């Protein structure tokens, strides 16, 4: 069947189609970079106006005791259902990088005598950089391993494995259940980086017994540039979760201003300093879009959209022009990565023509498909513009 007709039929049958109207996107732009920076939900601009006028302006410092101080936990509770966590295990604070630092040091401290940290060899760089610093500070050794080689790499030395659920470069999805089980069988802890999987597919942290997890909120959760990240600490680990950034925000009685640090009892101990309220409240407003949205529908549409885009690329581009790096089976997130020798120039031209994806060195074109606002017609248009560029260049 003709691709235009297929796209129209798929869009007409899309149970999430109504959600696109929730987002502010420039007309004529096809936005395929929500895996890097999500689009703004319309409600956020109005809510931020109210927050600044009414809370910051109207209530001034009183707002700290009228909902600001507890915001990291409150917003954490909104993220919890998206990652399969019962209440009381998630805080939203700091960046993903900082939370990786807290989680890794705490994990090493939970495993006395174990002297090795494993990190996914294909990891997003910040994870590797932070892990290297944690190894130096804790006197452990860092080893980068391919996720497929974990069965042989894990051992009695392993304190913790830091892994990306979805690979940022290829879009490959790792099997969280199987890998968590492997790590636990070796007596080690696992820290999952969910940056490219939260808001993409149902995640079951509690059910799988995951120890710790981090993730950013400015991609598929649409929290806005620099929105604070989240940190999940499994309930039974909270009492012994000894994170290194002992700021007053994680203190049991922050306003007692006591001379000694005593960590809070619950997941609040994962906090550090003053929360970035404006970003946090922008995120809180953005998360309202998820009310009533079934993650199973989001996942089904994301797989279907990425599959349709791959099909369009196969059909519209001359064979051999690009290599599809993303798994064609269901072991993928909601991005499609294509290898092309002139990827940087091709992406520059795509963006000039209002098809926004991104380029990752040395030769990868990345296209993110956020099911809440990307349509099948967008996917087809992007493939057509790409075909035009690679065949006429
Ligand atoms: C897998 C992964 N981890 C971490 C980060 C970034 O962390 P931060 O928000 O601290 O910049 C990103 C993206 O920027 C990412 O893709
Ligand atoms: N966090 C970013 C930023 O501040 C500027 C530009 C891009 C980003 C990203 O999120 C990159 C992204 N994590 C990636 O997967 O490559």
Q: Answer whether 168 contacts ligand 2 (Cβ < 6 A).
A: yes
Residues 356 and 371 in one domain: yes
| Residue 1: predicted pLDDT | 73
331 flagged as catalytic: no
Instruction: Count helices and strands (H / E) in the chain.
Output: 12, 13
**Cα distance from N-terminal residue to C-terminal residue, the chain:** 29
Q: With a cut of 50, which residues of the chain have pLDDT below it?
A: none
193 flagged as catalytic: yes
| Residue 181: predicted pLDDT | 98
Q: Is residue 49 part of a domain?
A: no
- Nearest CA to 341 out of 311, 373, 365 is that of 365
Residues 282 and 304 in one domain: no
DSSP character string of 210-259: --EEEE-SSSTT---TT---EEEE-GGGGGG---S---GGGBSSGGG--S
CA distances from 300 to 31, 353, 364 (A): 20, 29, 25
218 flagged as catalytic: yes
Contact 90, 231 (CB under 8 A): yes
Residues 308 and 161 in one domain: no
Domain boundary among 290, 324, 356: 290
Q: Is residue 267 part of a domain?
A: yes
For residue 374, the 8-state DSSP code is -
Q: Is residue 286 part of a domain?
A: yes
Q: Is 69 annotated as a binding residue?
A: no
Q: Is residue 58 part of a domain?
A: no
Residues 133 and 270 in one domain: yes
Atom of ligand 1 nearest to the CA of 164: 1
Tell me the torsion sign for CA atoms 367, 368, 374, 375: positive
Whether this prediction's pTM lies above 0.95 is answered by yes
Residues 8 and 125 in one domain: no
Residues 311 and 173 in one domain: no
Residues 174 and 27 in one domain: no
219 flagged as catalytic: yes
Q: Answer whether 116 contacts ligand 1 (Cβ < 6 A).
A: no
Q: How far is the CA of 197 from the centre of ligand 1 (A)?
A: 12
Which entry of 94, 120, 167, 193 is annotated as an active-site residue? Answer: 193
| Residue 18: predicted pLDDT | 97
For residue 271, give the 3-state DSSP assignment.
coil
Q: How far is the CA of 36 from the centre of ligand 2 (A)?
A: 5
Q: Is residue 62 part of a domain?
A: no
Atom of ligand 1 nearest to the CA of 218: 9
Contact 283, 217 (CB under 8 A): yes
Q: Is 193 annotated as a binding residue?
A: yes
For residue 372, give the 3-state DSSP assignment.
coil
For residue 276, give the 3-state DSSP assignment.
coil
Residues 203 and 298 in one domain: no
Ligand 2: residue whose CA is nearest its atom 3: 36
Domain boundary among 228, 260, 290: 290
Q: Answer whether 170 contacts ligand 2 (Cβ < 6 A).
A: no
Q: Is 152 annotated as a binding residue?
A: no
Phi-psi region of 292 (alpha: psi -120 to 50; beta: other; left: phi over 0): left
Half-sphere exposure (Cβ direction) of 376: Cα atoms closer than 13 Å = 23
Number of domains in the chain: 2
Which entry of 124, 232, 308, 309 is annotated as an active-site residue? Answer: 124
Residues 184 and 282 in one domain: yes
Which entry of 157, 219, 301, 332 is annotated as an active-site residue? Answer: 219
Contact 262, 251 (CB under 8 A): yes
Q: Is residue 54 part of a domain?
A: no
Q: Is 127 annotated as a binding residue?
A: yes
Domain boundary among 235, 260, 290: 290
Contact 220, 334 (CB under 8 A): yes
CATH of residue 101: 3.40.640.10
Q: Is 367 annotated as a binding residue?
A: no
Q: Is residue 314 part of a domain?
A: yes
Atom of ligand 1 nearest to the CA of 123: 1
Ligand 2: residue whose CA is nearest its atom 15: 168
Q: How far is the CA of 109 from the centre of ligand 2 (A)?
A: 30
What the block records as the tokens of 383 is 């493939």
Residues 181 and 265 in one domain: yes
| Residue 143: predicted pLDDT | 98
Residues 359 and 381 in one domain: yes
Range of the domain at 341: 3-42+293-392
Q: How far is the CA of 96 from the centre of ligand 1 (A)?
A: 6
CATH of residue 349: 3.90.1150.10
Q: Is residue 56 part of a domain?
A: no
Alpha-carbon distance 301 to 195, whole Å?
A: 19
ipTM: 0.96
Residues 301 and 281 in one domain: no
Tabulate helix, strand, coil % of the chain (nearest 5).
45, 15, 40
Q: How far is the CA of 225 from the centre of ligand 2 (A)?
A: 10
308 flagged as catalytic: no
């Amino acid at each position: 069947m003709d691709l235009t007709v297929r796209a129209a039929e798929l869009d007409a049958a899309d149970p999430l189609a109504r959600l696109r109207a929730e987002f502010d996107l420039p007309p004529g732009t096809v936005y395929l970079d929500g895996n890097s920076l999500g689009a703004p939900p319309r409600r956020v601009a109005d809510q931020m106006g109210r927050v600044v006028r009414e809370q910051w302006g109207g209530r001034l410092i009183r707002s700290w005791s009228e909902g600001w101080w507890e915001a990291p936990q409150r917003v954490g509770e909104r993220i919890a259902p998206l990652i399969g966590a019962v209440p009381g295990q998630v805080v939203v604070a700091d960046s993903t990088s900082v939370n990786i630092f807290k989680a890794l040091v705490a994990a090493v401290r939970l495993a006395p005598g174990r002297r090795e940290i494993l990190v996914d060899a294909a990891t997003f760089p910040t994870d590797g950089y932070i892990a290297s610093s944690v190894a130096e500070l804790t006197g452990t050794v860092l080893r980068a391993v391919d996720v497929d080689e974990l069965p042989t790499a894990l051992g009695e030395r392993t304190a913790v494995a830091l892994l990306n659920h979805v690979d940022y470069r290829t879009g490959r999805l790792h099997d969280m259940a199987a890998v968590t089980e492997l790590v636990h069988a070796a007596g080690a802890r696992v820290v999952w980086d969910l940056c490219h999987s939260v808001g993409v597919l149902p995640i079951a942290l509690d059910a799988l017994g995951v120890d710790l997890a981090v993730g950013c909120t400015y991609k598929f959760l649409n929290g806005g540039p620099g929105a604070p990240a989240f940190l999940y600490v499994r309930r039974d680990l909270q009492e012994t979760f000894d994170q290194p950034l002992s700021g007053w925000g994680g203190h049991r009685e922050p306003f007692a201003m006591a001379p000694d640090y005593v960590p809070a009892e619950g997941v609040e101990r994962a906090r550090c300093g003053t929360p970035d309220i404006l970003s946090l409240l922008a995120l809180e407003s953005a998360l309202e879009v998820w009310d009533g949205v079934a993650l199973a529908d989001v996942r089904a549409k994301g797989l279907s959209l990425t599959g349709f885009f791959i099909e369009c690329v196969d059909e519209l581009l001359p064979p051999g022009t690009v290599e599809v790096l993303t798994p064609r089976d269901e072991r993928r997130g909601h991005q499609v990565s294509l290898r092309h020798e002139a990827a940087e120039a091709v992406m520059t031209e795509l963006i000039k023509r209002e098809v926004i994806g991104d380029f990752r060195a040395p030769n990868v074109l990345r296209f993110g498909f956020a099911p809440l606002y990307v349509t099948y017609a967008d996917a087809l248009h992007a493939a057509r513009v790409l075909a035009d560029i690679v065949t006429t260049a």
